[in-house]
């Protein structure tokens, strides 16, 4: 791996909705807010962006809008992952045509597969060659944990450039790093583990919190180890509140409090509980965000 796609904090963007449709004015303001506060990459239609309840047309519109708004200032990464390999390949081709720089590709869910099947899945995607791949391992969502040896088996594929690791296990991250060396870049997939992952040699974080705290997360990801740890610990109560209900329920509530968008989600997701919002507001105030 010559150079990572980005270094620092990339934001897993929410998708603002208004009256059942994508709220593009709010989406534009959100992207501008990210870029003005030092964010290094934008992830569109990842889990936080609610792609599971978006039509193909909405997905394409969101990716195209983000590419145009970013104007090449930072990489735009399109969420393409799914549990049908051929559809992932087709989405990657569309994302490339729309101008995306890379794809975030979550491990298959529900029908899942074996570890050998994971290798076959990702090889089919990368060998199609549409876009560089950031592998996304988030077993709490998918019910499937990519083992370190599996990532190592894929690390020689030229088009696999990074992994967003959200298993929650620093020991697993370290073993992946040991086996893969410098062949892929590592990004924390959990805000609360940003400093630990970077201390082990990670390149940054793909963050949910940075939707509402881009400057704080960008500074955390750029800080030396001891300072990053202090910042991470200081933000931990807010990070925990951000994951107290199913993502992106809390971050949408927080963004609405800041006037960034409406607190509108699509079923089966529902707005945050009254108690959850009260806790979120309190932690945002303590962090100086509200």
Q: Which positions are annotated as active-site residues? A: 136, 164
For residue 22, the SS3 value is strand
Classify 153 in phi/psi space as left (phi over 0), alpha (psi -120 to 50) or beta.
Answer: alpha
CB-count exposure of residue 102 (10 Å: 0-12, 13-18, 19+): buried
With b for 16 or more beta-carbon neighbours within 10 A and e for fewer, the 244-260 pattern comes to: bbebbbbbbbbbbbeeb
Q: Please answer whether residues 231 and 185 qualify as being in contact, where contact means their C-beta atoms are separated by less than 8 angstroms.
A: no
CA–CA dist 202, 101 (Å, integer)? 20
User: How crowded is the C-beta side of 163, counted as CA atoms within 13 Å?
Assistant: 31
Q: Please answer whether residues 184 and 162 qualify as being in contact, where contact means their C-beta atoms are separated by less than 8 angstroms.
A: yes
Q: Please answer whether residues 126 and 88 qualify as being in contact, where contact means their C-beta atoms are separated by less than 8 angstroms.
A: no
CA–CA dist 210, 12 (Å, integer)? 8
Residues near 162 by beta carbon (within 8 Å), at least 6 away in sequence: 4, 5, 134, 135, 184, 185, 186, 187, 203
């Amino acid at each position: 791996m010559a150079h990572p796609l980005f270094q620092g904090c990339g934001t897993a963007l929410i998708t603002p909705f208004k009256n059942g449709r994508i709220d593009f004015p709010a989406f534009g303001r959100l992207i501008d807010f990210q870029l003005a506060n030092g964010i290094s990459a934008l992830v569109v239609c990842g889990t936080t962006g609610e792609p599971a309840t978006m039509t193909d047309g909405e997905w394409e519109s969101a990716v195209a809008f983000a590419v145009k708004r970013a104007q090449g200032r930072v990489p735009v990464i399109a969420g393409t992952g799914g549990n049908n390999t051929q559809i992932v390949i087709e989405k990657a081709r569309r994302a490339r045509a729309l101008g995306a720089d890379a794809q975030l590709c979550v491990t298959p869910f529900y029908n899942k597969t074996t570890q050998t099947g994971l290798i076959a899945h990702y090889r089919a995607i990368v060998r199609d060659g549409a876009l560089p791949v950031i592998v996304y391992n988030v077993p709490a969502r998918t019910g499937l944990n990519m083992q370190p040896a599996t990532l190592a088996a894929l690390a020689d594929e030229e088009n696999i450039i990074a992994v967003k690791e959200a298993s929650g296990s620093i020991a697993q991250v370290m073993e992946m790093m040991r086996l893969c060396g410098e062949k892929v870049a590592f990004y924390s997939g959990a805000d609360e583990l940003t400093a630990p992952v970077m201390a082990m040699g990670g390149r940054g974080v793909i963050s949910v919190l940075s939707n509402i705290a881009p400057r704080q997360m960008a500074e955390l990801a750029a800080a030396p180890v001891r300072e990053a740890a202090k910042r991470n610990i200081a933000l931990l109560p807010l990070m925990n509140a951000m994951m107290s209900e199913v993502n992106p329920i809390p971050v949408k509530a927080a963004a609405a409090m800041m006037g960034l968008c409406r607190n509108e989600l699509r079923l089966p997701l529902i707005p945050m509980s009254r108690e959850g919002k009260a806790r979120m507001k309190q932690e945002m105030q303590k962090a100086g965000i509200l």
